[in-house]
Amino acid sequence: MNHQRAVFLDRDGVINRAIIKSGKPYPPATLDEVEIIEDVPAALAILKDLGFLLIGATNQPDVARGTTTKEFVETVNAILVKELPLLDIKVCYHDDTGGCYCRKPLPGLLLQAAKEHNIDLTKSIMIGDRWKDIDAGKNAGCQTIWINRVYSEKSPTPDFTTTSLLEAANWIKERQ
């Protein structure tokens, strides 16, 4: 059976605008705060035209912490899937203390998607705005692209660094 290629995308800070507080990114807390970043539709169109499956992969620990609900996260995801050509959004609802295999930087979300959608991870790419995204991609055997949003946290070592998803999509296109 022929395996698919995928681009995995972190949600907050890559697909939709993250809410920045004290130099750290947070997910939107209300539907009014959900804003798709300007270049995302054009970038995803390029990647889809190249034949990639487009799959979100997001940590949402605020559910485990009790500061948001699983229903709210699923509502935000449904909006993004409706507005964009995303096949799926995989979610880890656990906190760092949960010890789960799906929480990035571990590769569980990507491995789950690969199994469900017949994806060859060695021909796939993880795009994220935080070191945990990049490490998850590496741990799954993917190429990695870091969108540097200049957060107050450690920097990863990806295969490519950029400041926009559109530039990332064009970098991928140049290498096809």
pLDDT tier at 168 (50, 70, 90 boundaries)? very high
C-alpha dist (Å) from residue 99 to 2, 26, 47: 34, 21, 33
Rounded Cα distance between 164 and 147, Å, is: 6
Backbone angles phi, psi at 119, to 5 degrees: -100, 135
Catalytic residue among 10, 129, 133, 135: 10
**Encoded tokens for 14:** 């890559």
Q: Is position 10 annotated as part of the catalytic site? A: yes
pLDDT at residue 144 is higher than 70: yes
In angstroms, the CA 45 to CA 43 distance is: 5
Categorize the per-residue pLDDT at 96 as very low, low, confident or very high, splitting at 50, 70 and 90. confident
CATH number of 6-174: 3.40.50.1000
pLDDT tens column, 102-128: 999 999 999 999 999 999 999 999 999
| Domain residue extents for the chain | 6-174
